[in-house]
Structure 1
């Protein structure tokens, strides 16, 4: 089964469209959305309708912290720019879209795979996986062979050997990585809607559960158009510049 893994869409219509078009060339059997459908970007309604459509056709979707904030269930404050976009987003959503965000689970499982937006040890606390120590904590929290998270925005891959040795890799886009064997793995596909690693191309990943092969993808898209939409909506200027520079 081929899974398309997308996370941190952040209301970026242009980026999500490009990723879905790219993924369609590989004919995934199932899509997995790892949270943060809203926030930062200018098209939350379109992005939510698109994700909801995929869920109706069998996609897996979990809740991100921006989704929780929009749904009114986030227990901690956000940075001023992020909070401003949440306040802008809420009145634009229809009741069924807000209900969708509220209904999303924090985690999901499929065969040997575990999915969460932030982490598997306390998904409701929204702590990041940013280091090998964080990855070791995550791999100790659940028994699954494969863990997929978002939240951190930068693509990353960690593994844990049977001897307890942790490895950390910066994946090369387009190169299939074999994950077979006794090692356990944690992968962060990178953000589709707001890359932050200096590469403005949208990020997502493909995982073949049969061959246990993972491929990180980068997809150029109309980031200038997405930034212009952020400015036209009157959202904070740094959010538009981030789409242009991925910094």
Structure 2
């Protein structure tokens, strides 16, 4: 089974469309959306409608911190830009969208894999995996051979040896990486809708559950249109500019 792993879509219709079209060309048979379907971008309803359609056909979908913010009444401590985006996003959605979000899980276990948005040790607290220390903590918190997570908008791969030593690897796009059973793995595909590694191309990954091969992809898309739509909606211009620069 070839799984497409897409995370941090952030209401970016152009990026999501490009990644899904590319995944279809790879003959993907299963999809996993690792949270943060909304936030920052101009097309939350379209992205949710699309993901809901995939979910109706068996796709895995997780809760992200931007998703849960839509259904929380107490948003004290949220920075002003994030608060503005949440309020605007809620105004674009209907009750069906919100009901779908309310029912999203924080974690999904499939075969020898764990899917989470943020980390394995406390997925509902949204702490980041920003280096080998957090990656080790996350891998120790599960018995799964491979953990797939998002939240961090930069594609990264961590591995832990049988002796507990953790290494970090920055994957090159379109290179097949065999995930040996002799190690534990934590896979961060990078963000579909808002990359932050200096490359504006959308990120996603595929994993073959038979050959255990992981492949990262960078997908160019119409970031100029996505950026302009953010500004037209009255959202902060910085969010649009970020799509152009990838930072």
TM-score by length of 2: 0.98
Report the Cα distance in structure 1 between the residues aligned to 2:61 and 2:122, rounded to whole angstroms.
Answer: 18
Could you tell me how far 1:73 is from its partner in structure 2? 6.9
Structure 1: runs of 5 or more not aligned: none
Would the aligned equivalents of 1:180 and 1:211 in 2 still touch at CA under 8 Å?
no
Equivalences for 1:168-247 in 2 at 5 Å?
168-247=168-247
Q: Which residue of 2 aligns with 1:20?
A: 20
Q: Give the Cα separation in 2 of the matches to 1:74 and 1:20.
A: 34
Aligned to 2:98: 98
Post-superposition Cα deviations, 1:126-178, rounded to whole Å, max 9, x if no partner, equal 00001000000000001000000000110000000001111100000010101
Alignment match, 1:4: 4
The question of whether the paired residues in 2 share the 8 Å contact of 1:68 and 1:74 is answered with: no
Query: Distance between the aligned counterparts of 1:198 and 1:81, measured in 2?
Result: 21
Equivalent pairs, count: 247
Give a deviation string over 1:81-100, Cα, whole Å, max 9, x none. 12210010112101000000
Residue 79 of structure 1: how far off its partner (Å)? 2.4
Quote the Cα distance in structure 2 between the aligned partners of 1:83 and 1:140: 34
CA distance in structure 2 between the partners assigned to 1:239 and 1:155 by the alignment: 20
SS in 1 for 2:199: coil
Shift of 1:26: 0.9
What is the root-mean-square deviation of aligned Cα atoms in Å? Answer: 1.1
Distance in 2, Cα, partners of 1:168 & 1:92: 39
Map 1:61-210 onto structure 2 (within 5 A).
Answer: 61-72=61-72, 77-210=77-210
How far, CA to CA, are the matches of 2:179 and 2:12 in structure 1?
31
Q: What SS class does the counterpart of residue 70 from structure 2 fall into?
A: helix
Unaligned runs of 5+ in 2: none
Ranges of 4+ aligned residues in structure 1 off by more than 2 Å: 73-79
Q: Deviations over 1:32-58 (max 9, x none)?
A: 000001100000000000000000000
CA distance in 2 between partners of 1:55 and 1:181 (Å): 29
Structure 2 CA distance for aligned equivalents of residues 75 and 240 of structure 1: 23
Q: Is the CA contact 1:65–1:74 (under 8 Å) kept in the aligned structure 2? A: no
Measure the CA separation in 2 of the matches of 1:246 and 1:83: 22
Q: In structure 2, how many angstroms separate the alpha carbons of the residues matched to 1:113 and 1:74?
A: 33
CA distance in 1: counterparts of 2:112 and 2:75, whole angstroms = 30
